Amino acid sequence: MLFILLFANTANIDFYFFNWLENGVYNLISPFLNVVENVISSINNYYVAFLKTGEILEENERLRKEVARLSTDNAILEEAREQNERFRDLLSFRGTVPGEPDILSTGVVGYSPATWQRMLTVNSGRNDGVKVGMPVMGYQGNLIGRVEKAGMNSSQVKLISDPEFQVGGRVARSDSRALGLVRGLPESDEEVIMENIRWDADIEEGDLIVTSAVSDNYPPGIPIGEVKKVEVGKQGLSQVAEVNLKGFQRTAEEAVIIKEW
């Protein structure tokens, strides 16, 4: 009986000792355990963030491709809309040409880089009924040139700004209708000059110049440009007018060839 009491008492002492030792060890290593736990938690967070970063990058790439596709589609639609508007403008000139002209819409595919020879190339040729000398108009309904060479499926157009180009012109005002000869200038592809105007003819700045009926090579009444300045010619026997072309030929994307009028 005494032995049991002694053992119980000793065991009770041991239990207190072990509890004290356990608490001491825990208090001693708990900071280290906290550090380890924080490191493991940080590693886990970084791992989760890494996985999410990969997903985010993939989503960003998908969105970038979608934006690029939508931008391309929008650009194509916008170009088609603008092209339709230009074609409507091309067809609107019918009222300036007497009768029912036979016209051919065509696309511009190139320009001559030479400054002394202003030409453009269209994707219509003899297979489409195109012949040398046919007048060519721009999308604003203005005269831009004539067919200089006609191939099977393409043609070269000499622009009105070419120094060798000439066409009869007149003032569009009904109370004037002054006549002259319009030709290109070697130093400019946006202006032409109108010469051989009578010294007493009524022509002034801002007048619209159109093709005249003097020549049979062009329908009368096609807009050419607007008078910029009028000067007295040599010996004061005539007048000379600087004319700003209506529409810039080198930005044309479509054209109309007048086959018959």
What integer pLDDT is reported at residue 3 of this predicted model? 45
Q: Residue 184 in contact with residue 160, Cβ under 8 Å? A: yes
| Tens digits of residue pLDDT in 47-70 | 555 566 667 777 777 777 777 667
Q: Rounded to a whole number, what is the largest CA-CA distance in the chain?
A: 154
172 DSSP assignment: -
Q: Which of 88 and 4 is assigned the larger pLDDT?
A: 88
Token pair of 104 as six digits: 């051919």
Which residues of 18-139 form beta strands (DSSP E)?
102-111, 119-122, 135-137
Q: How much is the pTM?
A: 0.66
Q: Residue 242 in contact with residue 253, Cβ under 8 Å? A: no
Distance CA 258, CA 261 (A): 7
Identity of residue 63: L
What integer pLDDT is reported at residue 150 of this predicted model? 96
Cα separations in angstroms, 5 against 2, 16, 19, 53, 212: 5, 17, 21, 67, 139
Q: Residue 196 in contact with residue 170, Cβ under 8 Å? A: no
| Tens digits of residue pLDDT in 146-161 | 999 999 999 999 999 9
For residue 7, the Cα-to-chain-centroid distance in whole angstroms is 101
Distance CA 79, CA 254 (A): 13
**Residue whose C-alpha is closest to residue 120's, from 101, 103, 139:** 139
Distance CA 237, CA 47 (A): 93
Task: Name residue, tokens 């791992």.
Answer: 47
Confidence band, pLDDT 50/70/90 cuts, at residue 7:
very low
Confidence band, pLDDT 50/70/90 cuts, at residue 246:
confident
**pLDDT at 217 exceeding the cut of 70:** yes
Identity of residue 215: S
